Amino acid sequence: MHVQRPFFMALIVTIFGFCQLSAIIWSQSSLKPTPLHTLAQSAKESLLPNGIEVQIGDLHERVVALRDDVLRISMWKGDFAPEDASWAVLASARHGSAPVTLSESEGHFGFRTSALIVELDKETLEVIVRDQAGAILQQDARPVRLDGDAFRIYKSMPLDEHYFGLGDKAGPLDRRNQAFTLWNTDAYRFQESTDPLYKSIPYFMTYRAGRALGVLLDNTWRTSFDFGKESATAYSFGAPGGPINYYVFYGPSPKQVVQTYAWLTGTPPLPPLWSFGFQQSRYSYMTQARVLEVAKRLRADRIPADAIYLDIDFQDQNRPFSVNRTAFPDLPGMVKQLKADNFHVVSITDPHIANLSGHSYLPFDSGIAGNHFVKNPDGSVYTGRVWPGPSVFPDFTRQQTRAWWGSLYRDLRRDGVEGFWNDMNEPSIFDSPTATMPENVVHRIDEPGFASRPASHAEIHAIYGLENSRATFDGLRAIDPEIRPFVLTRATYAGGQRYAATWTGDNSSSWNHLRLTTPMLENLGLSGFAFSGADVGGYAGTPTPELLTKWMEVGAFQPIYRDHSEKGKGDQEPWVGGPEREAVPRHFIETR
């Protein structure tokens, strides 16, 4: 049966879109500050249509207004500014321009917009941002710390300021007194203290005295954020490489900050209506008969579920875009039967392609023919072990590779599968000491708006899941332009909401993980992912009947409502625990 459309579903998405954010640290105590005042006797100012650029020696800092309430701040050494390209920030936003009124005092260069006042110190390049009433919104606590390609930016941290964002980091909603690393990681059985997790969303919101401010560090390297661990008076963020390029945008309300973040990085597509319904999954429903059995029970027990998931065991030896014909002898017939009973099927498609030369495995053969896989430094194809065994990995930084990947969905769409689940896309590697690709693996950027060039995995790691989900979304749109794709991704970067929904990964069946769920989803909502969820009942472990029942209640009021569990653990469908307990999740699913 189809899910209803009560107005509170829109309210749920709105609430999770306007909650809070989190922030991250990677302490770089070895970095020594460059004493800017010794680089030159005087600073040189260049006037720009929407801001200023100041040079001291070979160090440049540029501050421009993209809108009256949005600043872009960048810094570099040498004669040439970094490439003006971004995987996260839309070109329409990056090229925005607001009129400014320039100003200069004895110690500062600066300008005003209709909303903000900006000052740059002539000796240190420290930046102060104020509102039009003169109240300080953000202030550098010390000069930017530079050490080769590495940098760290320090901002003053008032005692009454609070910090939210950074996606689905575990722990309290307020990130004050915490430190985080952004490096997409397969964090099976993560706990409250686990860091990093699956996503890299280098954006946070500050809130103080009724004024909210957003900060987005657009840097795809291993970034880190510290909100009071290193210093009680300063928060900081930085990276070991990549550009010093960040955006500061003013509310003053949190809602306005979230809206501006969406202006910068894009909004989610309208999802299909069925994806708001209850979704039943596990790793794995091992046979076609079992899938149909679960669906039949859901209908017999009058539980209005809308989706059933197929995890990796529906595939032939875990090989993406294949089907285990022994366990699933008639996948199209099964999907058709489920569709007739108003179920929508979501199948997994991991990014690792089995390395199977000479086995007539189309994804491998066509990928090799099209030169679509990432390389080792010596030019050979990189191979890592994942679920199918030795595997190769699409180079999603190439537009040609994304188009090829998208075309692989044609057969599953022909068979009637309607949703697709991009898992393991940090990417997770089983036989690597770092659990992911080596940082010297080579990607080949071939993307409109970027210079065509090789790039190390150290630079690309954070966007691998983002571009994987982009390839899936765009491919589905190309195959069926009239449908609304449903793509679920585990790893992503800022702006990934343009292509996929997400969930919090491999949580555990514990009361603590139930408690962690709400602040994690709130921070995801503040970070662009209003459509997100956490595995109901917990993925790792078997919940007690009491825990499963309570999680079913809470999950009904979260944007994505998916019951999912791992292989080898107890069942956790809504009827587990008997008829009396089953009545509770049925009531809450019906209420939703």
For residue range 22-68, list pLDDT tens digits in order: 333 233 333 333 333 333 348 899 999 999 999 999 999 999 999 99
- Active site positions, annotated: 423, 426, 506
- Residue 281, pLDDT above cutoff 70: yes
Q: What CATH number should be reported for the domain holding residue 257?
A: 2.60.40.1760
Longest dimension (CA), the chain: 81
Asked whether residue 230 is domain-assigned, the answer is yes
Specify the pLDDT at position 42.
Answer: 80
- Residue 1, pLDDT above cutoff 60: no
* AA identity, residue 479: I
Specify the pLDDT at position 416.
Answer: 98
For residue range 218-247, list pLDDT tens digits in order: 999 999 999 999 999 999 999 999 999 999
Asked whether residue 325 is domain-assigned, the answer is no
pLDDT classification of 543: cutoffs 50, 70, 90: very high
Of 528, 480, 522, the residue nearest 500 (C-alpha): 528
What is the number of structural domains in the chain? 1
Rama region for 349: left / alpha / beta (φ>0; ψ in -120 to 50; rest): beta
For residue range 342-398, list pLDDT tens digits in order: 999 999 999 999 999 999 999 999 999 999 999 999 999 999 999 999 999 999 999
Specify the pLDDT at position 238.
Answer: 98
The model's pTM: 0.92
Of 156, 139, 126, the residue nearest 34 (C-alpha): 126
Asked whether residue 215 is domain-assigned, the answer is yes
Specify the pLDDT at position 24.
Answer: 30
Specify the pLDDT at position 9.
Answer: 38
Average pLDDT of the residues in 438-451: 97
Asked whether residue 85 is domain-assigned, the answer is yes
298/8 Cα distance (integer angstroms) = 24
Q: Is 402 helix (H, G, I), strand (E, B) or coil?
A: helix
Asked whether residue 293 is domain-assigned, the answer is no
Asked whether residue 180 is domain-assigned, the answer is yes
Asked whether residue 201 is domain-assigned, the answer is yes
Specify the pLDDT at position 318.
Answer: 98
Number of H helices, E strands in the chain: 13, 31
241/400 Cα distance (integer angstroms) = 27
Contact 46, 53 (CB under 8 A): yes
Q: Which domain holds residue 232?
A: 20-265
Asked whether residue 7 is domain-assigned, the answer is no
Average pLDDT of the residues in 115-120: 98
Specify the pLDDT at position 39.
Answer: 37
116/5 Cα distance (integer angstroms) = 41
For residue range 56-85, list pLDDT tens digits in order: 999 999 999 999 999 999 999 999 999 999
- Residue 157, pLDDT above cutoff 90: yes
Average pLDDT of the residues in 422-449: 98
Mean pLDDT of the chain: 93
